[in-house]
Amino acid sequence: MKKFALVMGASGEIGESISRVLAASGWSLYLHWNTNPPVELASFLREAYPQLEIIEVHADLSKPGASERLASQVFDVSCIVVASGHALVKMLMDTDDGEMDRLWQVHVQNPVSAIRQLSHIFQRHPKSYIVFISSIWGETGASMETVYSAVKGAQLAFVKACAKEMASSGTRVNAVAPGFIMTKMNNALDPAELESIREEIPLGIGKTQDVADAVDFLVSGKADYITGQTLRINGGWHM
């Protein structure tokens, strides 16, 4: 019997790595995207794993009502990974209401609403999983990323509450909080800045694979006595 996972934000670098690892572990996938359709990823996965179903689903999570659009495209699921999101590097005094609203919609409102609408499908399965890709800033806060830190912290609070509420139905709810992960988003940093950051982190700069492997562990069945937790993938940057 096929098992289905919805990866929200599959077109991003972390979401793509998660999708590749989950497919290798036998999960059929709904690949959610907004602006960049994951054509190459979907093609690769279909060729590499012909026994799986790979379904692309579109929804702009920055818009109200996107959760309904997303949920209407999902017909079976026992795992939801929320890897969608965008950063905002800006002083609070310079951040406008529209920017704050988009961060809330993308990181909290629409993902939580989609989970609410899909949670009844979890009842078909003895075990199910929800994993949020949060951030080290959701725990420690970051200057110049105040609102981003706030929504990432909200994700962590949701994970704790939802884990308590859904445990009796067999759903494990956890978060992964990456530290500095090397993605295209960091291309603006010059070599000296990267080296300075690397020196701050005991194990150096992380890779998207590190985050994907953590998600794979949480939904593998080997972590079924773990719920409501934040797994820190930060190389010892924050302990």
Parallel, antiparallel, or unpaired for β 3-8 and 79-82?
parallel
Distance CA 236, CA 201 (A): 6
Q: Residue 189 has what DSSP assignment?
A: S
Structure tokens at 193: 């800045």
Task: Label residues 85-115 b or e (16+ Cβ within 10 Å = b).
Answer: beebeeeeeeeeeeebebbbbbbbbbbbbbb
- Out of 30, 49, 129, 148, the active site residue is 148
Q: Residue 181 has what DSSP assignment?
A: B
Residue 142's Cβ-count burial label (10 Å; 0-12, 13-18, 19+) is middle
Nearest to 52 by CA among 36, 30, 32, 81: 30
Distances (CA, A) of 94 to 90, 114, 136, 160: 7, 31, 23, 31
Active site residue 30: no
Distance CA 223, CA 172 (A): 9
Catalytic positions are 148
